[in-house]
Amino acid sequence: MMIELPGSDTSVRPDAQAALDGDGTPLGRRTRWAVALLTGLDAPQDKDLSGNFVPVFLARHARGFAATLDQWRGRGPFTVTDYQPVAHKSWVTLEGPAGVRSTLSLTLDSTGLIRVLHLGPEVVTPPVRTWDDLARALEQPGVTWSALVTRVGGGVAETLYAKDADRPMPNGSSYKLYLMRALAAAVAAGTVRWDDCVTVAPALRSLPTGDMQELPDGTRVPVRETAYKMIAMSDNTAADLIQDLLGRGAVERAVMASGHSDPSLLRPFLTSHEVFEIGWGAPELRAGWVAADEAGRRQLLERITGPMTVRGSDLGPTVHRLGLDWHMSAWDVARVLGALVEDGAQDTSGVVDTILTAYPGVPIDSARWPRAVFKGGSCPGVMMFCWLLEGLDGVRYTLVLQQCADDQKLIGDGQFLRGIGGRLIESGLLSGTSR
């Protein structure tokens, strides 16, 4: 079964509208409603929108979101040419006059309301039928990249493709894989239970992605739910709550246990709150971080004890070159992914495996890949996606794609790199049956 992604040259499907109409899931219903905002006869009013969006979404549009929708509708009339739902996200390709195509992307939060709704030009990803195709697609001026594809089966490990896979690179939210390893170890040791709770507090609140930062102070959330949001929804506040529960040292030990090639790159192990606050907050924090050794950096982190002062609108210049990110090589990513899958196999509760497989990142043919583990990561100037796919025969394939640049504009919003990953997965290259 061929799985096509939005933006691929074969993704125009005659049954796209029928697929959207027939999707009875909460995601399908919200997506259908969102598409109708652009394709319906009557322009929506702001009073008609509040029941479908999280409050902060509409609050960000001072002129009212209906004004934005009016601009979007002006690009129509639209025809739905592709619909791709994946867990809590969906992408709808809309074709307007003269064949101009756009992608409407939608993300639900944990309450089932729309957190993200964006209309932009369709991102076209080229076919990937050979390893040379992969290299050509990722070779872009000003962008540093690495890639790794491995196969493990029958006690034999093979490297199918590697490009600078030993080079440490900033990875954004993939650091949460180490947090998940540390948490799984704590649960296995009996020091933490899945039904234990973490408590939201001002000093532990971070910036999106995610929605836990909007919970009232004092809200208690089960560890199981917090870990789910940390991995499946890449919730930054959830990750910081888990790190606060475990302690920085426990996560640093998980880094070493997972076989990181240079654990000093992740010492001290930063929270997302700390990266935001140092990276885009007071300049003296940034200068102090750059000048300090590990001991000095730990002392600097002791000064970051209050609520977040940085806003999402403050993020701009890239800071990964200052060591303000989580640096891992593609091999490091592959090792921690493999270790996590083993953690899941040893977890008799099944919680670890459920969390790891909740969001596959791209449409996955479950008949071909009954187990799919995914994690993405981004920060200004940083983008990465990784997958571990297990077939019916138990053979595991790991795919890691990393990009970084000094200019965020060269990286974009990740749709291109995600699409390349999806292209590679559905190409047949992993199993040697390239199509």
Judge if 58 and 187 occupy the same domain. no
Judge if 50 and 183 occupy the same domain. no
Q: Is 154 exposed, middle or buried (0-12, 13-18, 19+ CB in 10 A)?
A: exposed
Tokens of 166: 């030993």
Tokens of 2: 């061929």
CA 157 to chain centre: 27
What's the first-to-final CA gap in the chain, in angstroms? 11
Judge if 314 and 202 occupy the same domain. yes
pTM, entire model? 0.92
> What's the CATH number where 184 sits?
3.40.710.10
Q: What is d(CA 184, CA 251) in angstroms, rounded to the nearest whole number? A: 11
State the pLDDT at residue 13: 58
379-392 CB burial, b ≥16 within 10 A, e <16:
bbbbbbbbbbbbee
Tokens of 415: 């749709």
Long-range contacts from 392-396, C-beta under 8 angstroms, 24+ separation: 392/368, 393/153, 394/153, 395/151, 395/152, 395/153, 395/154, 396/151, 396/152, 396/153, 396/338, 396/341
77 domain residue, yes or no: yes
207 domain residue, yes or no: yes
Domain range for 31: 16-121
Last-in-domain residue among 98, 121, 144: 121
Q: What is the DSSP letter of 45?
A: -
3-state secondary structure 370-400: CEEEEEEEEECCEEEEEEEEECCCCCEEEEE
Domain count, the chain: 2
Judge if 298 and 316 occupy the same domain. yes
State the pLDDT at residue 316: 87
Q: What is d(CA 258, CA 332) in angstroms, rounded to the nearest whole number? A: 8
Sequence letter at residue 342: E
Q: What is the pLDDT along the chain (435 residues), one digit of tens a residue?
A: 223 344 444 444 568 999 999 999 999 999 999 999 999 888 888 787 888 999 888 888 877 888 899 999 999 999 999 999 999 999 999 999 989 999 999 999 988 999 999 999 998 999 999 999 999 999 999 999 999 999 999 999 999 999 999 999 999 999 999 999 999 999 999 999 999 999 999 999 999 999 999 999 999 999 999 999 999 999 999 999 999 999 999 999 999 999 999 999 999 999 999 999 999 999 999 999 999 999 999 999 999 999 999 999 999 899 999 999 999 999 999 999 999 999 999 999 999 999 999 999 999 999 999 999 999 999 999 999 999 999 999 999 999 999 999 999 999 889 999 999 999 999 989 876 544
The β-bridge partners of 90 are: 85, 106
Per DSSP, the three-state class of 84 is strand
Q: Is 74 exposed, middle or buried (0-12, 13-18, 19+ CB in 10 A)?
A: exposed
**Cβ proximity of 46 and 58 under 8 Å:** yes
111 domain residue, yes or no: yes
Sequence letter at residue 30: R
> What's the CATH number where 87 sits?
3.10.450.280
State the pLDDT at residue 42: 83
Judge if 65 and 184 occupy the same domain. no
Residue 335: HSE in the Cβ half-sphere, 13 Å Cα cutoff: 16
Judge if 67 and 97 occupy the same domain. yes
Judge if 210 and 160 occupy the same domain. yes
5 domain residue, yes or no: no
Last-in-domain residue among 64, 95, 121: 121
Judge if 66 and 166 occupy the same domain. no
100 domain residue, yes or no: yes
93 domain residue, yes or no: yes
State the pLDDT at residue 432: 67
Judge if 155 and 215 occupy the same domain. yes
Q: Are strands 156-163 and 169-170 parallel, antiparallel or unpaired?
A: unpaired
The β-bridge partners of 371 are: 390
287 domain residue, yes or no: yes
Judge if 285 and 308 occupy the same domain. yes
Last-in-domain residue among 121, 151, 186: 121
Q: What is d(CA 423, CA 222) in angstroms, rounded to the nearest whole number? A: 37
Judge if 266 and 338 occupy the same domain. yes
2 domain residue, yes or no: no
Judge if 155 and 89 occupy the same domain. no
Q: What is d(CA 230, CA 179) in angstroms, rounded to the nearest whole number? A: 9
Sequence letter at residue 35: V
